[in-house]
Amino acid sequence: MHNRSSVLIAAGIHTLRQSLPEVISNKVSVAISDNNIYVAWGSNKTGNDEVMFRASTDAGKSFGEKINLSNTTNSESQDVEIAADGAKVVVTGWERNQTSNQPVIITSDDGGKTFGPLLKLATNGTISTGEVKPLI
């Protein structure tokens, strides 16, 4: 017998895959908090690896607009992971190019409606956040 989380994940992934015309990576990272399902995945639709995000507030019956969280042209965004607690959503991954390979993080305090800047964790010194509008 499946528990509630397993059913929500299966329903959410099925709905998401049907709604996306692009090829997505085999790894889709999912976080569930209450009736919210947050999904992040890698996409190479533009010829460059990007981190994409979608959120459902109705247990996977529908998903909001797709958001490109990385939006990078000079590096590949890969190995995406996601976690959530209430309306706090955290997405991590790696930005890779020929001269750099560093971990990054981007956060939302409003259930994925908006995200702060992409923070490069390997940078020395203090890293600060500030809220920006989603890149759609």
Q: Write out pLDDT tens, residues 26-76.
A: 578 899 999 999 999 888 777 778 889 999 999 888 999 999 998 877 777
Strand partners of residue 53 = 40, 67
CB 30 within 8 A of CB 45: no
The pTM for the full model equals: 0.73
pLDDT, residue 45, reads: 77
Higher local confidence (pLDDT), 107 or 125: 107
Amino acid code (one letter) for 71: N
Amino acid code (one letter) for 27: K
Whether the per-residue pLDDT at 130 is higher than 70: the answer is no
Query: Which one, of 102, 62, 61, lies nearest residue 78 by Cα?
Result: 102
H-state helical runs in the chain:
4-19
The CA distance from 76 to 50, in Å, is 7
pLDDT, residue 56, reads: 93
The two tokens of residue 75 are 């590096």
Max mean pLDDT among 10-19, 47-56, 72-81 falls in 47-56
**% of the chain exceeding 70 in pLDDT:** 71
Amino acid code (one letter) for 54: R
